Amino acid sequence: MFFFISGKVKKSLTIDPTVWIFDERKIDLDAFFLAGANLPEENDLTDYTRKISAQFDREMLEALSRLIQTEIQIVLNTIGRN
């Protein structure tokens, strides 16, 4: 299902709701600003998510570093053969 937004505009807009992301961290902005910007408290899930995200970032950077080193070796080996 798609939503088409059109009218007196230069370009139409198509919205695909299947790619919208909803999760438990959603905050009602009206209530947020009326309550004096009180954020939800940290909990175990938030802490776990933060730690897992940091671990994922480290592993991705390490994998990228190994990939770059491999690519450099391939290029140097190719140049050395010429």
Domain parsing of the chain, residue ranges: 3-81
Residue 14 CA to residue 55 CA, distance in Å, equals: 36
Predicted model pTM: 0.43
CB-CB contact of 53 with 45 (8 Å): no
The per-residue pLDDT for range 1-26, each reduced to its tens digit, is 566 767 787 777 777 666 666 666 66
Average pLDDT over residues 34-38: 64
Distances (CA, A) of 50 to 25, 26, 42, 71: 13, 17, 11, 32
Residue 63 CA to residue 9 CA, distance in Å, equals: 45
Instruction: Round the average pLDDT of the chain to a whole number and report it.
Output: 78
Average pLDDT over residues 48-77: 92
> What pLDDT shows up at residue 21?
60
The per-residue pLDDT for range 45-54, each reduced to its tens digit, is 888 888 999 9
CB-CB contact of 16 with 28 (8 Å): no
